[in-house]
Amino acid sequence: MNVMTQVGDLSDSHGEKTVARRTVYVYQAPVRIWHWVNALCMVTLFITGYLIASPPDSVTGEAYDHFQMGYIRFAHFAAGQTMAALFLLRIYWAFAGNAHAKQIFYVPFWRRDFWKGVLHEIRWYAFLEKYPRQYVGHNPLAHLMMFGVFTLGTLFMIVTGFALYSEGAGRESWQYKVFGWVFSIFPNSQDVHTLHHLGMWVLVSFTMLHIYAAVREDIMSRQSMISSMISGERQFRDEDV
pLDDT tens-digit series, residues 140-159: 999 999 999 999 999 999 99
Q: What angle do CA 209, 212, 216 make, to 5 degrees?
A: 135
The pLDDT tens digits for 164-189 are 999 989 989 999 999 999 999 999 89
Contact 41, 86 (CB under 8 A): yes
| Structure-model confidence comparison of residues 221 and 115, the more confident one | 115
- CA torsion angle 142 146 148 153 (round to 10): 150
What confidence score (pLDDT) does residue 125 get? 92
What confidence score (pLDDT) does residue 14 get? 54
Q: Which helix (H) or strand (E) holds 233?
A: strand 233-235
- Per DSSP, the three-state class of 124 is helix
The pLDDT tens digits for 183-238 are 999 998 999 999 999 999 999 999 999 999 999 988 888 888 888 999 999 888 76
Report the mean per-residue pLDDT for the chain: 87
Quote the CA–CA distance of 80 and 51 in Å, as a whole number: 15
The pLDDT tens digits for 20-56 are 457 888 999 999 999 999 999 999 999 999 999 988 8
Mean pLDDT is lowest, of 6-15, 35-44, 48-57, 74-83, for 6-15
The count of other CB atoms within 10 Å of the CB of residue 113 is 14
Domains of the chain in sequence order: 3-9+17-240 (1.20.950.20)
- Per DSSP, the three-state class of 236 is strand
What confidence score (pLDDT) does residue 67 get? 84
